[in-house]
Structure 1
Amino acid sequence: METRRVIFFLFDQVHLMDLAGAVTVFYESGCCGQPYELRYVSPYPQAGVSCGLSFTNLEPLEAVTITSSDILMLAGMDLSKWNHADDMKWIPWVQAAAATGATVCSVCTAAFALAVAGLLDGRPCTTHWGYTAALQEHFPKAQVLENRLFVQSDNIFTSAGISTGIDLALYLVEQDHGPAFAYKVAKDMVIYIRRDGAATQQSVHLQHRQHINHQVHQVQDYIAHHLPEKITIDDLAALVFSSSRNLTRLFKTVTGITIGQYIKELRQEKALQLLKEGHKLSWVAQSSGISSQGELRLLAKQAGRGRLA
């Protein structure tokens, strides 16, 4: 399988964290066994960093031809120092990248660059909370959303800025290699996995992983992969070499809910997902571990299902 490319686009006066956060996710993905080819391009041979550093040996735009399988990430920059006289040096290149179907992403203020290129016209999008009003004012055709970590519209992604570039990059890694692998990358980076609360990927599993306790992560992973089976606290405690009492207390402390509540919510979420996909009640019960017909029929109503076979 060909290694997927991630091309990082650097403006002059780029914000270091907007770039480094996403870079680290894809780099760590390689360390965990799923490598990406990382490339760095710019309209300038040397791009300054807003904090006073600089990047050299950047590839010129014409040296990289974007394909539909590529990820292009534009890092945010200091808007007060943006030289619009140079816009035509890069606008056609970015537009061509989007037209190929490549995954085009902006971090923080780089959303303004996508807007200048016309790529946000008619699209839901976001940027750093301090700039959402300005983005909407200057680009009224864009549908600017507030309080979102990142927003997807077809192959165009915009993120709110700084650390949310990490969230977006983890999401892309998850799309390529699955949630378990994305959790592994996040764990190696010693960060939380967050997701946009308005998006479907905000699962029960993710909502209660806002911690870095390895034992509880092991328990959560085990539960997620054994939902159809009988799961006892004693078995979970043995898995992480703990007493049942200590695990019960630890799990509630770091997740905010009990182990029993967590299992119940995961099973309900799984059942609801399968019901929405149109699966029969018997298969939903077998796959989710929910044996109560009454509970399943209640979930079916939430899923908008009528009669169930």
Structure 2
Amino acid sequence: MVSNRIIFFLFDGVHLLDLAGAVTVFYESGCCGQPYELRYVSPYSHPATSSGLGFAAVDPLDAVTITAQDIIIVAGMELARWNREDDHLWMPWLQAAAATGATICSVCTAAFALAAAGLLDGHSCTTHWAWTSSLQKQYPRLKVLENKLFVKSGKLFTSAGIATGIDLALYLVEEQHGAAFAYMVAKDMVVYIRRDGTESQHSVYLQNRQHINYQVHQVQDYIAHHLQHKITIEDLAALVHISPRNLTRLFKSTTGSTIGQYVQQLRQEKAQHLLKAQHKVAWVAKECGFKGPDQLRRFLKKAI
């Protein structure tokens, strides 16, 4: 049975993007034709984000009766504000939800809550890269995987945090409504490409965006959204109003990659995703800017 209810669990000190990223995916799913009922619960009457923003329309935990079809997403929180003296306020509820067969997900540091409740014992899991060692040390019965965007173990999902909550949510949408629909939601959100849990937290796209040069960011955004077209350095240079020679130098010094290498890496990454989603080779080749299926096959074979 397909669930249409997503229950977001908020600790006090919840990280805003850990919550909002996943919320937006399911909201946009509704805009694209597959609506979800979104509920927000907390053991606290007035939880606030780690950045100080407070919430009003949040229900107490006992206001929602959990079923096996529900999806519960526990958003990451500031661990320094996580009051373990309040375990009795939320832990039995989360354990009971898991016992009903509901899907339980954590974003970022919320993996610590799932671990504390014993839900992750014997399971593979992950969290933000800065906390993987600490999670493994505190909970030795877990198998904490590093450098993963998210990990699925039965009906338990753990994600690396922040933006990877979007990847996890898109995966859940894809499980229910198919790859083509999830791709449409991602496109509607202007997300470059949906990544899955087998990938590194450091994708080609993200590795080359760890800089603050707005002109290079603008070029990278253009490339990512026009891979199906012929891309010339002259056109990119005109886009940011500098000479092709200066753009070539600036791009390489800023990202460590040439423009040509960057374009090919993104085309490879996108093609692999679309092929994995069972799209036809001819369509994938066209969508990724290759001359035809044969060129795509040669390129991917060379890239192995």
TM-score relative to the length of structure 2: 0.70
Query: In 1, distance between residues paired with 2:156 and 2:86?
Result: 23
Q: Which amino acid aligns with 1:40?
A: Y
1:174 aligns with 2:212: no
Q: Which amino acid aligns with 1:197?
A: T
Task: Say if 1:117 and 1:266 are closer, same or farther in 2 by CA, change over 3 A.
Answer: same
Q: Which amino acid aligns with 2:195?
A: R
The structure number with the bigger radius of gyration is 1
Identity rate, percent: 60
The alpha carbon displacement at 1:259 in A equals 5.0
Q: Which digits, 9 at most, give the CA deviation of each residue in 1:212-262, with x for residues without a partner?
A: 338469x977996545xx88x8xx5xxx9xxxxxxxxx815xxxx975343
The alpha carbon displacement at 1:120 in A equals 0.9
Instruction: Give the corresponding residue for 2:213.
Output: none
The alpha carbon displacement at 1:263 in A equals 5.1
Query: In 1, distance between residues paired with 2:186 and 2:83?
Result: 36
Query: In 2, distance between residues paired with 1:2 and 1:172?
Result: 11
Q: Which amino acid aligns with 1:251?
A: G
Superposed, 1:260-299 pairs within 5 Å as 260-262=294-296
* RMSD of aligned Cα (Å): 3.2
Q: Which moved more, 1:48-57 or 1:36-45?
A: 48-57
Instruction: Give the corresponding residue for 2:33.
Output: 33
The alpha carbon displacement at 1:195 in A equals 1.6
1:251 aligns with 2:289: yes
The alpha carbon displacement at 1:99 in A equals 1.1
Work out which of the residue numbers 211, 230, 242 in structure 1 matches 2:224: 211
Instruction: Give the corresponding residue for 1:120.
Output: 120
Instruction: Give the corresponding residue for 1:302.
Output: none
Q: Which moved more, 1:174-183 or 1:94-103?
A: 94-103
Task: Say if 1:266 and 1:65 are closer, same or farther in 2 by CA, change over 3 A.
Answer: farther
Instruction: Give the corresponding residue for 1:72.
Output: 72
Per the alignment, in what secondary structure is the counterpart of residue 90 of structure 1?
A: helix
Instruction: Give the corresponding residue for 1:204.
Output: none
TM-score relative to the length of structure 1: 0.69
Q: Which digits, 9 at most, give the CA deviation of each residue in 1:83-117, with x for residues without a partner?
A: 11111111011011111111100000000000010
Query: In 2, distance between residues paired with 1:224 and 1:157?
Result: 24
The runs of at least 4 aligned residues of structure 1 exceeding 2 Å deviation read 196-199, 210-217, 219-227, 257-267
Task: Say if 1:184 and 1:264 are closer, same or farther in 2 by CA, change over 3 A.
Answer: farther
Instruction: Give the corresponding residue for 2:98.
Output: 98
Q: Which amino acid aligns with 2:130?
A: G
Q: Which structure 2 residue ranges, 5 or more long, are not aligned?
A: 201-222, 230-266
Q: Which amino acid aligns with 1:95?
A: Q
Contact kept in structure 1, 2:123 and 2:153, CA below 8 Å? yes
Task: Say if 1:117 and 1:187 are closer, same or farther in 2 by CA, change over 3 A.
Answer: same
Q: Which amino acid aligns with 2:118?
A: G
Contact kept in structure 1, 2:3 and 2:71, CA below 8 Å? no
Query: In 2, distance between residues paired with 1:175 and 1:107?
Result: 18
Instruction: Give the corresponding residue for 2:251.
Output: none
Q: Which amino acid aligns with 2:161?
A: G
Task: Say if 1:215 and 1:109 are closer, same or farther in 2 by CA, change over 3 A.
Answer: same
Q: Which structure 1 residue ranges, 5 or more long, are not aligned?
A: 200-209, 241-249, 268-309
Query: In 2, distance between residues paired with 1:224 and 1:118?
Result: 37
Superposed, 1:132-211 pairs within 5 Å as 132-192=132-192, 193-197=194-198, 211=224
Q: Which amino acid aligns with 1:118?
A: G
Contact kept in structure 1, 2:12 and 2:77, CA below 8 Å? yes
Q: Which amino acid aligns with 1:76?
A: G
Aligned residues: 237
Query: In 2, distance between residues paired with 1:59 and 1:26?
Result: 19
Task: Say if 1:261 and 1:214 are closer, same or farther in 2 by CA, change over 3 A.
Answer: closer
Q: Which amino acid aligns with 2:296?
A: Y
The alpha carbon displacement at 1:265 in A equals 8.2
Contact kept in structure 2, 1:159 and 1:165, CA below 8 Å? yes
Query: In 1, distance between residues paired with 2:20 and 2:29?
Result: 14
